[in-house]
């Protein structure tokens, strides 16, 4: 096993991280969603199209290199909400369009998705279909050369800002998993209603809202794959998202760890740097251990997926390790910074608020443990 990055990979990572550090504004704490100018700023660095085909303006990267790009994003950019928003746009939306849309739809949508001219949202979750995706209520009825969509999705990141909504609806109620179909729906079609952005605990700069379809007639060419293939399309997109999106949290934790080590070296109590106290130094060592273990699991899952060997257990272990390390490390960071870490505006408490949702989206920690247990015959 060779654990070294190639010279090309390391240079791409360093150049991207450094460019992002220069571009990254410290979030103002207002919780305001990103605007198009901020989106375009990171899009110009290639982040909105990392793994999209080069012929459409993308970077043409595989899963491991995409993960490395998003890790650099998370390390170099202070606003984890925008890191998440771009990652969701790319992995849960652009990837299924890349791999399942017809040639005409790919030509129509992928250039804009790669350049950042278009923003995409993934609308899968419903009030009664979150972790249990067997019984979604949104339906799509074939009517000539259109599908007519009815129903409501309860939580869609990027939806209030989106130009394209990737969604899933039941086309054959009696077919179970084979009755679900995926669609790439232009936001400007009549019959689409998106709520105002939710007020959330974390990732506040990424707007999320409800999406309602009231007899929305979607041209059949926007079907992803074949009718009834929606479960396979969604599973494929989740393999990419659960593997690559969480690399952004690796970057966040790396930046967080550096800040904690600096704080431990510089802050003094009882006439000593606080890092000289074992209670502090061991806490930071534990943060390092969680980060490095999670990184190895994520790189392994990405490496397997890049070789067309998707491993559900490896992906679940990586997602679980990264998300739970992000929460634990963020709690530890608040302890290292003490009272100042509890205050808004330092970024320390914001890391914790941004880390908590990572245990919920893309499949909860409990779902990931279910997948691991199933692999053990339980």
Q: Which amino acids are annotated catalytic?
A: 241
**CA distances (Å), 25 to each of 78, 155, 207, 216, in order?**
7, 27, 18, 39
Q: How far is CA 244 from the centre of its chain?
A: 7
DSSP characters for 82-98? HHHHHHHIIIIIIHHHH
Strands 139-143 and 120-123: unpaired
- Calculate the alpha carbon distances from 263 to 27, 72, 258, 266, 334 in Å: 21, 22, 9, 5, 11
Contact 139, 150 (CB under 8 A): yes
Q: Is the dihedral of CA 192, 85, 56, 224 positive or negative?
A: negative
Tokens of 324: 């739970």
Buried b (16+ CB within 10 A) or exposed e, 106-125: bebbbbbbbbbebbbbbbbb
Q: Report whether 215 contacts 148 (CB < 8 A).
A: yes
* Helix or strand (DSSP H, E) at 121: strand 120-123
- Asked if residue 146 lies in contact with residue 80, where contact means CB atoms within 8 angstroms, the answer is no
How many CB atoms sit inside 10 A of residue 343's CB?
Answer: 11
Neighbours of 221 (CB within 10 A): 14
């Amino acid at each position: 096993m060779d654990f070294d990055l190639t010279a090309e990979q390391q240079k791409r990572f360093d150049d991207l991280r450094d460019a992002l550090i220069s571009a990254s504004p410290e979030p103002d704490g207002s919780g305001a969603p990103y605007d198009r100018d901020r989106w375009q700023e990171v899009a110009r660095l290639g982040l909105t199209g990392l793994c999209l085909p080069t012929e459409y303006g993308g970077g043409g990267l595989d899963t491991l290199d995409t993960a490395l790009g998003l890790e650099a994003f998370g390390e170099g950019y202070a606003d984890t909400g925008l890191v998440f928003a771009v990652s969701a746009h790319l992995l849960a939306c652009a990837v299924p369009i890349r791999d399942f849309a017809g040639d005409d739809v790919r030509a129509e949508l992928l250039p804009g998705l790669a350049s950042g001219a278009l923003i995409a949202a993934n609308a899968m979750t419903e009030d009664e279909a979150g972790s249990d995706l067997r019984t979604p209520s949104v339906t799509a009825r074939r009517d000539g050369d259109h599908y007519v969509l009815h129903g409501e999705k309860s939580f869609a990141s990027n939806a209030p800002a989106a130009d394209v909504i990737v969604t899933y609806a039941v086309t054959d109620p009696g077919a179970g998993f084979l009755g679900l179909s995926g669609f790439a729906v232009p936001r400007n079609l009549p019959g689409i209603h998106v709520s105002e952005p939710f007020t959330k605990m974390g990732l506040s700069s990424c707007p999320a809202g409800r999406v309602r379809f009231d007899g929305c007639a979607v041209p059949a060419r926007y079907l992803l794959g074949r009718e009834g293939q929606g479960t396979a399309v969604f599973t494929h997109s989740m393999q990419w998202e659960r593997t690559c999106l969480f690399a952004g949290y690796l970057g966040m934790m790396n930046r967080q760890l550096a800040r904690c080590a600096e704080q431990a070296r510089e802050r003094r109590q009882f006439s000593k740097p606080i890092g000289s106290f074992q209670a502090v130094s061991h806490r930071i060592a534990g943060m390092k251990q969680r980060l490095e273990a999670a990184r190895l699991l994520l790189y392994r899952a990405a490496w397997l997926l890049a070789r067309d060997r998707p491993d559900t257990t490896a992906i679940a272990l990586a997602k679980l390790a990264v998300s739970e390390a992000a929460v634990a490390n963020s709690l530890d960071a608040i302890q290292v910074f003490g009272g100042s870490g509890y205050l808004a505006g330092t970024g320390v408490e914001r890391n914790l608020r941004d880390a908590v949702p990572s245990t919920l989206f893309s499949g909860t920690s409990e779902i990931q443990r279910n997948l691991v247990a199933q692999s053990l015959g339980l």
